[in-house]
Amino acid sequence: MAGEPHRQPAKQLSSFREDVVAGLSLPRKSLSPKYFYDAAGSRLFERICRLREYYLTRAELALTRSHLAAITRFAGRRGTLVEYGSGESLKSRLLIHALRPAAYIPVDISQEALQAAARRLAREFPRLDIVPVVGDFSRPLTLPVKGRRSSCAVYFPGSTIGNLTPGEAQAFLAMTRGQAGRMLVGVDLKKDANILHAAYNDAKGVTAAFNLNLLRRINRELGGDFDLRRFAHYAFYNPGPGRIEMHLVSLARQTVSVGKHRFGFGAGESIHTENSYKYSIDEFQDLAAKAGFRGARAWTDRRGLFSLHGLVAG
Ligand code: SAH
Ligand code: AVI
């Protein structure tokens, strides 16, 4: 069964305008990747997950299937499973089958994706108590978790943690330490930059459409007049910080309005729209330790592309 989604207070979901105006007013323009995920953005991300070049989803599914028994022993059966950034809850199905949780609490900022996923899961697992929460995990969240913290496991797959800066990731982990005794975190691994480059520059242009959809969303929801033909998707691996950077590059000198605000762009100037940090196993375990977690286990796929960390609150 899946009830009506819990919603966090309206303020959390109404800051889109303020954040866009603030981000486009910076000397180096930037927008938070959390705004990619309107209904269209969530659908585009689902297409990305099925692309030949986007190895992350396949690698994480493969490693979860092959280590499912050990992952189940680590997370524990019949407790509460909280999932952050659950999207279409693709990988969660494997865990729900194995863990048989008493309750599943998927948390996502994208209401449409969350509700559609909860409805599908309710058909597949009719006896599971599904409590969807529409909310932003970059802010403090109150979750409807019943029972003891020790019987709650938090699942954060997909390397969504890589979309946070290391400082934000540490703060996020520290916040979840108060919610659960154990965490499972999917983290993309450092690798050949050519493989990374292809994953964020797919031949069909789906990642480009995903990036540009942010401007379409600003036009629709905030009264913007971005001309999508005058911006280009640009993604590259920056080895210093160890991250893929996604940008939208202005192809001309131009002025864009968002409601009553006007923003000038030079030719070649970019809006930085996403970071996707890649970590070695040790780098991520060090980060988790700073947030008060012990990296108890780390599973990888056979090709060593992706990792799933089992963290225990220390
Ligand atoms: N877990 C899925 C989806 C990953 S895509 C997978 O592994 O394939 C990232 C998901 O996190 C999207 O569904 C997006 O809507 C959600 N998301 C991104 N930023 C968020 C935030 N700040 N708060 C809540 N959800 C967020
Ligand atoms: C959700 N997140 C982990 C994806 C990533 O790989 O950083 C988002 C994405 N951006 C471009 N392609 C996919």
Tokens 């009506």 sit on residue: 4
Probe ligand 1: pick from 32, 37, 58, 137, max atoms within 8 Å of CB? 37
Among protein residues, the one with the nearest Cα to ligand 2's atom 4 is 160
Q: What is the mean pLDDT of residues 130-151?
A: 89
**CA 238 to centroid of ligand 2, rounded, Å:** 15
- 82 with 153: CB under 8 angstroms? yes
**CA 256 to centroid of ligand 2, rounded, Å:** 26
CB atoms within 10 A of CB 16: 17
Confidence of residue 152 (pLDDT cuts 50, 70, 90): very high
Tokens 């899946």 sit on residue: 2
Q: What is the mean pLDDT of residues 156-164?
A: 98
**Minimum mean pLDDT range among 7-21, 125-139, 166-180, 188-202:** 7-21
Among protein residues, the one with the nearest Cα to ligand 2's atom 2 is 160
- Which of 6, 170, 1, 156 is closest to 82 using CA atoms? 156
Q: Which two tokens stand for residue 180?
A: 């659960």
**CA 134 to centroid of ligand 1, rounded, Å:** 11
Confirm or reject: Cβ of 159 under 6 Å from ligand 2. yes
- 154 with 244: CB under 8 angstroms? no
Beta-ladder partners of 293: 313
**CA 45 to centroid of ligand 2, rounded, Å:** 8
- The confidence score (pLDDT) of residue 224 equals 98
Beta-ladder partners of 104: 81, 130
Confirm or reject: Cβ of 186 under 6 Å from ligand 2. no
Q: Which two tokens stand for residue 223?
A: 């009264």
**CA 260 to centroid of ligand 2, rounded, Å:** 31
Alpha carbon 312 to chain centroid, angstroms: 21
d(CA 274, CA 263): 20
CB atoms within 10 A of CB 24: 20
Among protein residues, the one with the nearest Cα to ligand 2's atom 3 is 160
- The confidence score (pLDDT) of residue 9 equals 58
Q: Which two tokens stand for residue 229?
A: 């033909």
- Interval 42-54: pLDDT, tens: 999 999 999 999 9
The full DSSP string for 211-277 is HHHHHHHHHHHH-B---GGGEEEEEEEETTTTEEEEEEEESS-EEEEETTEEEEE-TT-EEEEEEEE
The full DSSP string for 79-104 is SEEEEES-TT-TTHHHHHHHH--SEE
CB atoms within 10 A of CB 56: 21
- The confidence score (pLDDT) of residue 181 equals 87
- The confidence score (pLDDT) of residue 13 equals 44
CB atoms within 10 A of CB 67: 17
- The confidence score (pLDDT) of residue 142 equals 86
pTM of the predicted model, to two decimals? 0.96
Probe ligand 2: pick from 32, 42, 44, 45, max atoms within 8 Å of CB? 45
The ligand with the least distance to the CA atom of 16 is 1
**CA 214 to centroid of ligand 2, rounded, Å:** 14
